[in-house]
Amino acid sequence: MLPTIEKHPTIRGAYQLRTEQWLPRGIDEVFGFFADAYKLEDITPPWLQFHVVTPKPIPMSPGTTIDYKLRLHGLPVRWRSEISEWEPPRRFVDRQLVGPYRLWHHLHEFEAQDGGTLVKDTVDYAVPGGAFVHWLMVKRDLTTIFRYRHERMQHFLGEQK
């Protein structure tokens, strides 16, 4: 399922992005891919110039913070996220502590299905500037980013090696 974005069902002024992707790999392998924060660099579009700043290794657990730098429409952005939930190999949540959004809560879920793994993403977010800024840039940007992510996950985890 390619990304869908709708107004958030319960948070005024927020939106919700939902997407799913089935990968022909076991849940432990797929979750392990996401457990490495540096893999985000591999599945993020190059135009964002996204880099993890936190030194390796990054041991994942509730409370882990990770710093990133990127460029949004040419502007440098610092982003700090916190792993607020960590339940291998089923789910984890990262939430923005510092960054471009007023709200960013990203639930990653993994479900063994049909000999592979179903990866589900639910992102609750809100943007400065509200609906106009969302319509003008953010909705299109997030759709493009998550489509790219699907392609890259297919590249890394879509074929048995």
Instruction: Return the CATH number at 72.
Output: 3.30.530.20
Give every CB contact of residue 156 below 8 A, 6+ residues apart in sequence: 33, 39, 42, 43
| pLDDT above 70 (res 17) | yes
Residue 161 resides in a domain: no
How many domains does the structure of the chain reveal? 1
Residue 110 resides in a domain: yes
For residues 1-24, give the mean pLDDT.
94
Residue 105 resides in a domain: yes
Host domain of residue 114:
4-156
pLDDT of residue 147: 97
pLDDT of residue 19: 98
For residues 115-139, give the mean pLDDT.
95
pLDDT digits (tens, 9 = 90+) for 57-115: 999 999 999 999 999 999 999 999 999 999 999 999 999 999 999 999 999 999 999 99
